[in-house]
Structure 1
Amino acid sequence: MKSRNIKGWQPIIVILLFLIIWQLSIKIWKVEVWLLPSPLAIFKEGINSIDSFIPHVISTIQLSLSGLLIGSLLGLLIALILHIIPGFKEAFYPLLILSQNIPIIVLAPLLIIWFGFGLLPKLIIISLVCFFPITVSSLDGFRQTPNELVNYMKMAGATKSQLFWKIEFPYSLPSIFSGLKISATYSVMGAVISEWLGAKSGIGVYMTLASSSFRTDRVFVSIFVIMVLSMIYFAIIALIERLTVKWKSKGVN
């Protein structure tokens, strides 16, 4: 128990040491606030601007969660199609990899030209960022099903649908949740990128206004909030995984 507690505190200790070194370095070398603010200055700015910043955070949360939901469903659907239909994985899997080689920052202006400045291009950007980790993780999870269980179910007369829902899907849940955790952290980044390209509110808009006015402290406030949101998303999905996988494993056994 003691070793576990110590390991749990290690990241916090490292972060605190980093912030202390950062704060001391600013004081020793007297770095200008507009160039690199100190952690205390960033914290004070976050407190002072909380009333004007919260609406931007709420807007980004709504956008990122919507895009994450669409991207997750799209990723699972693509993985299911590639897994079930023979030959589709060999034909389309390389195209999925190629789709990730297109920089989002380059594709985003085209989406705005095609679909305007509304909500649709933003959701498309986040979905494109989110779907790939889920698709790849799900396909890997489907392959991890023990062959002896599959053969046993086939000998018992199970259909393809029964094989999938009783064996393949439950055994792939850990891999699916791994992809979801990656996509959840990406969704915040995708939302911020989409807001850079045209939005009325959001953390991306707040960062753009702050950087154009040389308010570096506000930029760092935005960065820290993005990091916190990503960790919260990750923790929520990890909690759901802990509950769901445990329940599924009991159902399988």
Structure 2
Amino acid sequence: MATEAPLTQGALPREGGRLLGRWGSAALEYTPALVLLVALVGLWELLVEVLNTRPYILPAPSAIWNALLDKGHLLPNHIQATATEAVLGLVAAAVGGVLLAVLLSSIPLARRVLYPIIVTSQTVPAIVLAPLLMVWVGIGLESKLIVVALVGFFPIVVSTVDGLASADRDMVALVRSMGASRLEELRHVLIPSAIPGFFAGLKIAAAYAVIGAVIAEWVAAKEGLGIFIIRSQASFRIDQIFVAIAVIALLSIALFVAVHLLARAASPWKYTNDQGENGS
């Protein structure tokens, strides 16, 4: 018992060191992008001042910051509305995408019939579908969720189908030889194999979910960043439009990071292997 305390105490600094190492690596990885962004904002401010650009054409970053301070009290309700639509729509896209991917992988005829239709459906822009959905479903939350789900549906289906198809054929044959049912095969072999692909598609969908919500709000909404942009455009407040653009970007990044963290929690073996390969 006397020897356990030093070992436990020694493990804590090592774990803390690994944690700091991961954060340090992340900081080093994203520092160049942050430096470039700051430089571009500084150049933007300088060019607006030198060229004496009118605020209703291109406001300076400082003017955009002042607009944020001036109208910031209006943003929380708009942000909450857009974020709710984006998250719920992304969840709907994930559930529907996984179910359809399982269907396409399980029934070859369904894949031959439905897959070309799914691909063709992506040629129709969401901005065209949104007004139709408002007429068919109404201007409530449901129509906006459908728009977001349609935007994020395709990458989830494609990535999950590819993940299911990439399962180890030897492992599939093994569980079948042991008398596993189709459901057991799906649960123990196919789904674990498809998890990384599913989250790869979900990350892409997360990057577009907020945009889908904004598109739906452009058509008809009482709250949301889309209607905030429409009102700012009507009053020629280009600085407020840039505020909304910045908030949309931050929301999209936050949603992407949340999905990335979920992916790490759901498939830690993948990221452990990737780190091992990078380290070697």
For 1:53, the equivalent position in structure 2 comes to 75
Aligned positions of 1:86-235 closer than 5 A: 86-235=108-257
2:21 corresponds to 1:16: no
Distance 1:23 1:248 in 2: 43
* Deviation per residue, 1:188-208 (Å, 9 max, x gap): 001000001111110000000
CA contact (8 A) 1:170 1:249 kept: no
Contact 2:105–2:165 (CA under 8 A) maintained in structure 1: no
Runs of 4+ residues deviating >6 angstroms: 1-4, 247-250
1:22-37 mapped onto 2 (5 Å cutoff): 22-37=44-59
1:79 aligns with 101
CA distance in 2, matches of 1:106, 1:7: 39
Larger radius of gyration: 2
Segments of structure 1 that go 5 or more residues without pairing to the other structure are none
- CA displacement, residues 17-66 of structure 1 (integer Å, 9 cap, x when unaligned): 11111111111101111110111111121122111111111111111111
Contact 1:79 1:139 in 2 (8 A): yes
Matched, 1:39 2:61: yes
What CA distance in whole angstroms lies between the structure 1 residues aligned with 2:132 and 2:139? 11
Provide the aligned length of Structure 1 versus Structure 2: 250
Name the amino acid aligned to 1:186. Answer: Y
Query: TM-score w.r.t. structure 2 length?
Result: 0.85
Amino acid at match of 2:180: A
**Higher relative CO (CA 8 A, sep ≥ 6), structure 1 or 2?**
1
Does the alignment pair 1:242 with 2:264?
A: yes
Give the secondary structure class of the aligned counterpart of 2:108.
coil
Q: Which stretch shifts more, 18-27 or 101-110?
A: 101-110
Unaligned stretches of 5+ in structure 2? Answer: 1-20, 273-280
Instruction: Return the letter of the residue paired with 1:137.
Output: S
Q: Percent identity at matched positions? A: 34
AA aligned opposite 1:199:
A
Distance (Å, rounded) in 2 between the aligned partners of 1:195 and 1:187:
13
Would you say the 8 A contact 1:185–1:234 is kept in 2?
A: yes
Q: TM-score when scaled to structure 1?
A: 0.93
Give the root-mean-square deviation of aligned CA atoms: 1.9
CA contact (8 A) 2:264 2:271 kept: no
